[in-house]
């Protein structure tokens, strides 16, 4: 028996992105100033819920005013400023003003409670916290009071829309405009400018520290692939606290002179479609569950979406049935993005003219100026195309590191390669398929099962609008499959035996879910990712398998 041969260079699961267009070498502040000079009268931002509409010249003036106010208040280059608020135009003003003043913006998850807030305030050493007093059932002011005593570096708290906000802005008069120019001249594109806390499933979250180069270029290049110009209007219902909103949304817009449209403070399907219609948006963003919710509205057909040309779906793969609905609505240039906070975030993206199969079966191919590979998670060796392994990425987008956690940074970034923890397969044409998290893979009786494959099949059931598959403990096989299923309105109840019957003959026997749980929704992170860890523990407990 001959020894196996190593894959040839051309068949390795390794790809390098295009070198065009060139990377931007400026800071976020300098790039915004250039856009304002080119398109002063074009709309920069529309906050539908608040009735705010600003041109680029007006947006720039408000950004400069807040930046000067922050300088007047004594905040020095490199200090951390936290923002804890839902989507609103002031969030975007803070994003660009802190960049202009050389301050590091710390994005705080709107779903955090006082314990998590306190951790972030202390870990990042936040000097100033900008927040809303409350939103829906969350009493932010009360939670800040609980956390504040244990955070000695926190000097000030400013609440948006209150006297404290107005008082801060009023201090702008103390600092001349040329002081901002002096600060800008001293900033480097490689400086840290943003900290985003990753939602860890165990332990405390880690603060991915990102530079101007990281996020400015990622937003710019994502927008280039979407073919953005100053004519585009991007509907952004995804949270600003995450890269999807502030990088792929805001920075993609401002690097092209496009308009940022905020439909609501938090995701609302009807408000999103109403904003698209009223503002004639050309691009629509969301995770798959958002698009599913929008298209499931009883009055969906009454919305005029004819202006939408493109957009981005990310967070998890696009179900084939959802892509068919997008195309039927005339949105033929939707792109699929894949990435993670630590890579600013996008590493791969489908192109606007890619085939249907590529858009539903893959997350596209390597983005410009990046390098990707699929590696053996144990040895680190690059695998052959067609083999499943860990997705790794390298290039300008990889974070500076986890804030003040060098050991965890060294575990995640090896020789410049970010280890994502995602299972992937690279096809012969260089397109990448994400088959799940390494930790989400189900091993049943020695068979490796990738939940994504089964979920995609379950979408073909006429009564299922969404499905998530997890592994639960099993005494005989080690793990068994459990499907959480959302049914269409009015559908008859679906039993486990009926679902297994639907799968029989179409899926291998070991891929057929043993358990079925009917739900109205799934436990989600604020960024729209399904929390499978929570689903596993809940299912095991309910099924009496957690022993």
Q: Tell me: the pLDDT tens digits for 495-523?
A: 999 999 999 988 888 899 999 999 999 99
Distance CA 251, CA 32 (A): 9
Q: Which of 349, 347, 376 is nearest to 362 (CA)?
A: 349
Joined together, the tokens standing for residue 544 give: 């009496």
CB atoms under 10 Å from CB of 181, counted, come to 12
User: In this structure, are residues 341 and 248 in contact, taking their beta carbons and an 8 Å threshold?
Assistant: no
Query: Tell me: the pLDDT tens digits for 36-54?
Result: 999 999 999 999 999 999 9
pLDDT at residue 9, rounded to an integer? 60
| Residue 182 burial (C-beta neighbours within 10 Å; 0-12, 13-18, 19+) | exposed
Q: Which of 213, 196, 214 is nearest to 205 (CA)?
A: 196
Q: Which residues of 344-380 are buried (b: 16+ CB within 10 A; e: fewer)?
A: bbbbbbbbbebeeebbbbbbbbbbbbbbbbbbeeeee
Prior bond of 56 cis (ω within 30°)? no
pLDDT at residue 201, rounded to an integer? 42
pLDDT at residue 3, rounded to an integer? 41
User: In this structure, are residues 235 and 269 in contact, taking their beta carbons and an 8 Å threshold?
Assistant: no
Coil, helix or strand at residue 172: helix
Residue 459, pLDDT above cutoff 60: yes
| Torsion, Cα of 212, 257, 253, 159 (10° steps) | 80
**Residue 203's pLDDT band (boundaries 50, 70, 90)?**
low
**Residue 199's pLDDT band (boundaries 50, 70, 90)?**
low
Give me the mean pLDDT over the 333-349 stretch. 97
Coil, helix or strand at residue 31: helix
DSSP state of 175: S
DSSP count for the chain of H helices, then E strands: 18, 27
Distance CA 453, CA 423 (A): 13
**Residue 317's pLDDT band (boundaries 50, 70, 90)?**
confident
Distance CA 237, CA 280 (A): 15
Give me the chain's average pLDDT, please: 94
CA 205 from chain center: how many Å?
Answer: 16
CA distances from 137 to 123, 141, 241, 464 (A): 26, 12, 19, 31
Distance CA 474, CA 479 (A): 5
pLDDT at residue 202, rounded to an integer? 44
Residue range 441-542 forms a domain whose CATH class is alpha beta
Residue 423, pLDDT above cutoff 80: yes
pLDDT at residue 26, rounded to an integer? 98
pLDDT at residue 1, rounded to an integer? 38
Half-sphere CA count of 529, side-chain side, radius 13 A: 21
Query: Tell me: the pLDDT tens digits for 359-390?
Result: 999 999 999 999 999 999 889 999 999 999 99
Domains of the chain by residue range:
27-39+55-188, 441-542
Pairing type for strands 43-47 and 52-55 reads antiparallel
pLDDT at residue 508, rounded to an integer? 84
Distance CA 126, CA 373 (A): 36
Distance CA 237, CA 255 (A): 19
pLDDT at residue 7, rounded to an integer? 56
Tell me the β-bridge partners of 488.
none
**Residue 5's pLDDT band (boundaries 50, 70, 90)?**
very low
Tell me the β-bridge partners of 259.
233
Residue % of the chain over a pLDDT of 90: 84
Query: Tell me: the pLDDT tens digits for 105-124?
Result: 999 989 888 988 999 999 99
> 146-160, 409-423, 433-447 — which is least confidently predicted?
433-447
Specify the CATH architecture of the domain 27-39+55-188.
3-Layer(aba) Sandwich (3.40)
Total-model pTM: 0.86
Is the pLDDT higher at 209 or at 6? 209
User: In this structure, are residues 46 and 278 in contact, taking their beta carbons and an 8 Å threshold?
Assistant: no
> 35-39, 98-102, 263-267, 505-509 — which is least confidently predicted?
505-509
Q: Which of 120, 123, 54 is nearest to 93 (CA)?
A: 54
pLDDT at residue 8, rounded to an integer? 56
Tell me the β-bridge partners of 128.
81, 156
Is the pLDDT higher at 202 or at 184? 184
CB atoms under 10 Å from CB of 490, counted, come to 6
Joined together, the tokens standing for residue 494 give: 């679906």
Residue 2, pLDDT above cutoff 60: no
CA 180 from chain center: how many Å?
Answer: 31
Q: Which residues contact 208 (CB under 8 A, 6 or more apart)?
A: 195, 196, 197, 198, 341, 342, 399, 402, 403
Q: What is the DSSP string of 468-483?
A: EEEEEEETTTEEEEEE
Joined together, the tokens standing for residue 397 give: 């987008």
pLDDT at residue 15, rounded to an integer? 98
Tell me the β-bridge partners of 313.
286, 336
Write 95-98 long-range contacts (CB < 8 A, 24+).
95/240, 95/246, 95/250, 96/28, 96/29, 96/32, 96/63, 96/67, 96/254, 97/63, 97/64, 97/66, 97/67, 97/70, 98/67, 98/70, 98/193
Q: Which residue has tokens 């400023």?
A: 81
User: In this structure, are residues 46 and 52 in contact, taking their beta carbons and an 8 Å threshold?
Assistant: yes
pLDDT at residue 31, rounded to an integer? 98
């Amino acid at each position: 028996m001959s020894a196996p041969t190593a894959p040839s260079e051309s068949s390795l699961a390794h790809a390098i992105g295009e070198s065009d267009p060139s990377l931007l070498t400026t800071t976020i502040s300098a790039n915004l100033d250039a856009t304002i000079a080119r398109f002063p009268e074009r709309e920069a931002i529309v906050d539908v819920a608040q009735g705010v509409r600003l041109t680029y010249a007006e947006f720039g003036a408000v950004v400069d005013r807040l930046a000067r106010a922050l300088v007047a208040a004594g905040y020095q280059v490199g200090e951390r400023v936290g923002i804890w608020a839902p989507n609103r135009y002031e969030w975007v003003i803070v994003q660009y003003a802190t960049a202009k003043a050389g301050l590091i913006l710390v994005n705080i998850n709107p779903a955090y409670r006082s314990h998590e807030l306190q951790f972030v305030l202390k870990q990042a050493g936040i000097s100033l916290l900008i927040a809303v007093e409350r939103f829906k059932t969350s009493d932010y002011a009360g939670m800040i009071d609980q956390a504040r005593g244990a955070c000695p570096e926190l000097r000030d708290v400013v609440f948006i829309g209150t006297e404290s906000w107005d008082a801060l802005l009023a201090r702008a008069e103390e600092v001349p405009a040329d002081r901002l120019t002096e600060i800008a001249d001293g900033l480097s594109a490689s400086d840290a400018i943003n900290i985003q806390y990753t939602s860890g499933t165990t332990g405390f979250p880690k603060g991915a520290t990102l530079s101007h180069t990281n996020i400015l270029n990622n937003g710019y290049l994502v927008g280039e692939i979407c073919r953005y110009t100053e004519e585009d209007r991007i509907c952004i219902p995804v949270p600003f606290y995450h890269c999807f909103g502030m990088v792929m949304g805001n920075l993609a817009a401002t690097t092209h002179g496009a308009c940022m449209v905020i439909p609501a403070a938090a995701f609302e399907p009807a408000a999103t479609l109403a904003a698209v219609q009223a503002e004639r948006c050309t691009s629509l963003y969301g995770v798959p569950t958002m698009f599913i919710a929008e298209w499931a509205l009883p009055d969906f057909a009454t919305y005029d979406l004819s202006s939408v040309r493109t957009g981005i779906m990310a967070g998890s793969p696009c179900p084939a049935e959802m892509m068919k609905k997008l195309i039927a609505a005339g949105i033929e240039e939707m792109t699929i993005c894949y990435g993670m906070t630590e890579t600013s975030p996008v590493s791969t993206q489908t192109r606007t003219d890619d085939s249907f199969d590529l858009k539903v079966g893959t997350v596209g191919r390597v983005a410009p100026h990046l390098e990707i590979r699929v590696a053996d998670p144990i040895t680190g060796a690059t695998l052959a195309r067609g083999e499943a392994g860990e997705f790794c990425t390298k290039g300008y987008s990889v974070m500076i590191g986890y804030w003040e956690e060098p050991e965890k940074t060294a575990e995640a970034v090896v020789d410049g390669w970010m280890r994502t923890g995602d299972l992937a397969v690279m096809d012969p044409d260089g397109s990448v398929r994400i088959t799940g998290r390494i930790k989400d893979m189900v091993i049943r009786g020695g068979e490796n099962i990738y939940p994504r494959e089964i979920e995609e099949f379950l979408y073909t059931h006429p009564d299922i609008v969404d499905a998530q598959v997890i592994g639960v403990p099993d005494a005989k096989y080690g793990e068994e499959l459990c499907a959480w299923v959302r049914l269409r309105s009015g559908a008859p109840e679906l039993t486990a035996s009926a679902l297994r019957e639907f799968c029989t003959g179409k899926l291998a026997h070991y891929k057929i879910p043993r358990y079925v749980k009917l739900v109205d929704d799934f436990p989600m992170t604020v960024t729209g990712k399904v929390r499978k860890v929570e689903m596993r523990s809940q299912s095991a407990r309910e099924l009496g398998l957690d022993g």
